[in-house]
Amino acid sequence: MPRISTLGLALGLVLMASNAHAENVTATLGFHNVNPKSDNGTLAGAEASVDDDWAVTGSVAYHFADNWSVELWSGLEKYEHDVSLAGLGTVGSVKHRPTTLGVNYHFMKESKFRPFLGLGYGWVNVSGEKSTGALAGTVLRADNSSGLTANLGADYYFNDNFFVRGDVRYLNFDSDVTVDGAAVGTANVDPLIYGISAGVAF
């Protein structure tokens, strides 16, 4: 994955938006669960399982047309997942920070309740790999990942400036795994990410 600075992207989007009308900018602070799909592939000949985790998230968006916005969304802290293998139990853990950049279409812009859906591209920076259990003492590594994303959700506006958001997004997240430098397979994480956020419109 390209090493993209979440802070740098956020600042860039805010600076771009600062040249437009202030009311076209929204920002959120939320809490989201990264929930991997049930079948996470085969590693070292055994079926792999990756558990879920919750973390603080944030977003900033520029509404460039009546019903359209470009949004940067990211984990503000790292997610951590235990990795298990059939017959061996937990063999390691990994941390990651997902970031997505996409375009959303917003329905019912004049209503308090405003659904939206979107498409974009996501990057996952993997770090902090640890081996445990049957793999204790080995060097576990997992590659960064990137791929298409899709999301849907809805905002409820209490007034012109404050809203609450519920959303879910799919993230294409596949990571090649090595143990002591030898390839052992690909972890197919491909999670659904869901949660709730508080938002403000500037």
- Mean of per-residue pLDDT scores for the chain: 91
Q: What is the DSSP letter of 44?
A: T
Confidence of residue 2 (pLDDT cuts 50, 70, 90): very low
Task: Give pLDDT, residue 1.
Answer: 38
Whether residue 54 is predicted with pLDDT greater than 80 in this model: the reply is yes
User: What are 172-184's pLDDT values in tens digits?
Assistant: 999 999 999 999 9
Q: Nearest to residue 92, comparing CAs of 57, 54, 40? A: 40
Q: Is residue 8 within 8 Å of 188, Cβ to Cβ?
A: no
**Strand, coil or helix: 17:** helix
Whether residue 16 is predicted with pLDDT greater than 70 in this model: the reply is no
Q: Is residue 33 within 8 Å of 195, Cβ to Cβ?
A: yes
Average pLDDT, integer, range 6-30? 63
User: What are 67-95's pLDDT values in tens digits?
Assistant: 999 999 999 999 999 999 999 999 999 99
Residue 11: what are its φ and ψ, rounded to 5°? -65, -40
Q: What beta strand segments (E) does 86-191 contain?
A: 89-106, 113-131, 140-142, 145-157, 162-171, 174-179, 182-188
Task: Give pLDDT, residue 109.
Answer: 86
Q: Which domains are assigned to the chain?
A: 6-201 (2.40.160.20)
Q: Provide the residue count of the chain.
A: 202
More confident residue, 1 or 54: 54
Average pLDDT, integer, range 121-126? 97
Structure pTM? 0.87
